Amino acid sequence: MRMTLRAATTTVSLMLGALFAPAMASEPEDVLKAARERFTGTFGAKQEQAAMERHIEQAIVAATASASIFVRPTARSKLRDLTRPCASFTFGFDAHNSTIQCEQRPANTAPLDGRAVQRLGSGGELHDLSQAIERRRITQTMRSKNGMRRDVYELDAPGTTMRVHTTITSKWLDDPVRYTLSFAR
């Protein structure tokens, strides 16, 4: 009876595995191929520059509201420098790296395997840059000694609209800065 029960358990396990295999995570090559197909190219902002700046300013004001009156102006000024909105993003891939470029700013290139690389930021500070790739989402993380910025580039099902969810945290902020902007192919 033990052998029959074990054989039955194995058979059921194999059948369930075959039944649910399509729902399980795809192989990394499939994920990368899907991301390349969906993301490669340029996405332009769906809002005017001034509207994006107002939206980001609201997020900065909310995040710094609890800061002291002495720290608040400096924090807001630095955050404005870090959050200048992009009118467009261009995505590219090669055999080993993914690249995200915001207009004419230096491109952010990181290994496809998600490892962090050191990069010199626009403010002259070193930070670790990594990019995690999923089928409809790329998560770009920049960490420095003072904080972290995470941008999640997320496509809709047809791949024509991209939402960029940004979160900035810092040891100097009580609350994170959070905002979302929309772009179209």
- Looking at residue 105, the DSSP 8-state letter turns out to be S
Q: Which CATH superfamily is domain 24-184 in?
A: Calycin beta-barrel core domain (2.40.128.20)
pLDDT value of position 85: 95
pLDDT value of position 172: 84
Mean pLDDT, each 10-residue run in order, the chain (185 residues): 41 37 48 88 96 97 93 92 93 93 90 91 84 92 94 95 97 93 97
Cα separation values, 134 from 27, 54, 120, 121, Å: 11, 30, 26, 25
Give the SS3 label for residue 43: strand
Cα separation values, 7 from 1, 20, 42, 117, Å: 10, 20, 54, 49
Domain range summary for the chain, segments of one domain joined by +: 24-184
pLDDT value of position 58: 97
Residue 88, strand partner residues = 44
- Looking at residue 115, the DSSP 8-state letter turns out to be -
